[in-house]
């Protein structure tokens, strides 16, 4: 498998773990190191394993169902680091009903042995409505 294929698989693995709503699955995605950073849309930055995994527990606890349709904006690989910019078209069902939204995310992975592990997730809302948008470039 090429590095690009492996990184795309790791990135897809992140969204698969997200959809399961199981923190144990999410734990397998991230590098267990103090330098990891996670920015959920609109949240302040979280650093390190404990705060980041706790945030996933909070999100998963308040969500019944989450589905992602992912469009790749850019994928850059430099040696042992990979940066994936994606548009997440997101449908979620929680306590307050079903919501569709669009999130832009920068996901950074580091090569760790034969795997690519997440070290940064920066998600942010897009202001413009999804249905009126042209397809991304």
Query: Which residue, 97 or 129, has its beta carbon nearer to a second copy?
Result: 129
Per CB under 8 A, contacts with a second copy among 24-63 are: 35, 37, 39, 41-48, 51
Q: How many CA atoms lie within 13 A of 70 on its CB side?
A: 22
Closest contact distance (angstroms) between CB of 22 and a second copy is 26
Dihedral, CA of residue 19, residue 76, residue 47 and residue 18, to nearest 10: 0
Tell me the window of 1-9, 10-18, 69-77, 92-100 that interacts with a second copy (CB under 8 A).
Answer: 69-77
Q: How many angstroms separate the Cα of 43 from the Cα of each of 4, 21, 39, 113, 123?
A: 30, 19, 6, 31, 9
Per CB under 8 A, contacts with a second copy among 111-130 are: 119-120, 122-128
Closest contact distance (angstroms) between CB of 123 and a second copy is 8
Number of H helices, E strands in the chain: 3, 6
Separation CA 17–CA 68 (nearest Å): 11
Per CB under 8 A, contacts with a second copy among 75-94 are: 76, 78-81, 83, 85, 87
Separation CA 31–CA 118 (nearest Å): 6
- Report the interface residues with a second copy, using CB under 8 A: 35, 37, 39, 41-48, 51, 73-74, 76, 78-81, 83, 85, 87, 104, 106, 108, 110, 119-120, 122-128, 133, 136-137
């Amino acid at each position: 498998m090429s590095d690009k294929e492996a990184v795309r698989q790791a990135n897809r693995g992140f969204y698969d773990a997200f959809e399961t709503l199981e923190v144990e699955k999410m734990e397998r995605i991230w590098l267990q190191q103090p330098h990891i950073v996670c920015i959920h849309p609109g949240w302040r930055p979280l650093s390190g394993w404990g705060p980041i995994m706790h945030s996933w527990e909070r999100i998963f606890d308040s969500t019944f169902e989450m589905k992602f349709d992912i469009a790749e904006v850019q994928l850059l690989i430099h040696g042992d680091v990979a940066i994936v910019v994606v548009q997440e078209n997101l449908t979620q069902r929680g306590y307050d009903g079903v919501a569709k939204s669009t999130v832009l995310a920068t996901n950074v992975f580091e090569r760790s042995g034969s795997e690519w592990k997440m070290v940064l997730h920066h998600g942010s809302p897009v202001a413009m409505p999804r249905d009126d948008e042209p397809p991304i470039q």
